[in-house]
Amino acid sequence: MTEALIIGAGVAGPVLAIALQRVGIDAHVYERSPSGADLRGAWLNFQANGMDALRAVDAAGPLQDLGYPNDTISFITGHGKKLGRIPMAAPRRDGQLSVMMRRADLYRELNTLAAARGARYHYGKEFVSATTASDGRVQAQFADGSTATGDLLIGCDGIHSTVRRVLDPAARASRYVPVLNVGGYLPDFTVDVPPREFRMQFGTRCFFAWFPTPDGGTVWFANPPMAHEPERGALSDMTDAEWRKWLHQLMSGDAGPAHDIIDAAPGPMVGWATYDLPVVKRWHNHRNQIIIGDAAHATAPSAGQGASMSVEDAVILAQCLRDCPDTPTAFTTFESLRRRRVEKIVRHGHRSANSKAAGPVGRLLRDLILPLVFRQAAKNGGRSMMWLQGHHIDFDKAIQPVSA
């Protein structure tokens, strides 16, 4: 049986293991952390196309009730002026909505399901390099000196991927996105927003968002602008009190519940810098190594699509490996099916992140232009975003191979 070595147990890793099992490929997952993935970014919006891709490999079940469905976004200015109210996407035929969930829950459920479907997990294994074994297969080397040999090596090791560097030592590093991220969940804190609606505020100095959960709580996040990448450790050195003070300063004079949220948020507050990856030239080596998910095309969190893209990648790669005559053809076919879509999303995420970090002139223009954009989007019922959230995968449909 073909054996795949999957590096990383975040989102792409476990879904790939599940999808490979469906096409008769044995999966071993190697994760560097001792017990599970890095859980930065307490909450994420898992969009309808990601859920669709999970459904393609019968893996959506455990996630359906994990979080809070949402279907609308409304935008206001710092002064509380309404900029627009738009559907998250046009209604899909299957009725699937985006679901706001804890990142830890998403990781846990996907990895539990992959293990239950037969994937073998190896924690505390930091991938460092790959070579060709004497039998021509690929050999992965880990920081503890151990090795593993398989027919395929698939890097699902996230935005700072080591597999990407091994494939192409000249690969560009990730690009800093000029807004930070901080947020979380407040139980027993209600906001005056209709159910399933995300309210987002282009504040005078900071982007701030809040979302009411049906159990009487609120999910929130803020994107403090920061033009230059913070030095290593600078954010983790900030105390809870410093975060709160800074957020209050940034939101000073702005309307809305931001100050109450900042005061009520359970501590300690933790914030992080964010990155994207515009174009990664080399996704595979035409032989037996490939990268997918954030390792190949990370998008700024503002797109709300990174996890969904990783799931789509994992499912489509498994289809390619099933339907193509050999691995190089499968990799070429996968890239031809995915590159355009994911790079478009990275551009979309970058534009969206930059609009949150606009200076005074940019803000003025943004507040003039956005109502027109939102009016148009509301008029077409979110159909302009169907290319994104309307994506559908029919797992049983054969993929047409593209020659390597």
Ligand X SMILES: Cc1cc2nc3c(=O)[nH]c(=O)nc-3n(C[C@H](O)[C@H](O)[C@H](O)COP(=O)(O)OP(=O)(O)OC[C@H]3O[C@@H](n4cnc5c(N)ncnc54)[C@H](O)[C@@H]3O)c2cc1C
103 sits in the region (left: phi over 0; alpha: psi -120 to 50; else beta) called alpha
DSSP helix/strand/coil, 59? coil
Q: Which is nearer to ligand X, 269 or 307 (CB)?
A: 307
Is residue 10 involved in binding ligand X (CB under 6 A)? Answer: yes
Say how far apart CA 119 and CA 193 lie, in whole Å.
42
Is residue 44 involved in binding ligand X (CB under 6 A)? Answer: yes
- Which residues on adjacent β-strands are paired with residue 77? 202
357: CB partners within 8 A, 6+ apart = 178, 179, 223, 225, 227
Least Å distance between CB 253 and ligand X?
26
Pattern of binders to ligand X over 176-215, x per CB under 6 A?
-----x----------------------------------
User: C-alpha angle with apex 105: 71 to 62, nearest 5 degrees?
Assistant: 75
Least Å distance between CB 46 and ligand X?
6
Q: Is omega for the bond preceding 268 within 30 degrees of 0, making it cis?
A: yes
Interacting positions 281-340 with ligand X (CB under 6 A): 293-295, 301, 304-308, 310
- Comparing C-alpha atoms, which of 291, 302, 276, 283 is closest to residue 356? 302
Q: Which is nearer to ligand X, 7 or 261 (CB)?
A: 7
Say how far apart CA 80 and CA 59 lie, in whole Å.
41
Is residue 77 involved in binding ligand X (CB under 6 A)? Answer: no
Is residue 156 involved in binding ligand X (CB under 6 A)? Answer: yes
Query: Which one of 68, 121, 127, 374 is in contact with ligand X (CB under 6 A)?
Result: 127
Least Å distance between CB 308 and ligand X?
5
Is residue 162 involved in binding ligand X (CB under 6 A)? Answer: yes
Least Å distance between CB 30 and ligand X?
5
User: C-alpha angle with apex 273: 271 to 274, nearest 5 degrees?
Assistant: 125
Query: Which one of 11, 119, 148, 238 is in contact with ligand X (CB under 6 A)?
Result: 11
- Which residues on adjacent β-strands are paired with residue 131? 139
Is residue 37 involved in binding ligand X (CB under 6 A)? Answer: yes
Is residue 229 involved in binding ligand X (CB under 6 A)? Answer: no
Residues that bind ligand X (CB under 6 A): 7-13, 30-33, 37-38, 40-41, 44-46, 126-127, 156-158, 162, 181, 274, 293-295, 301, 304-308, 310
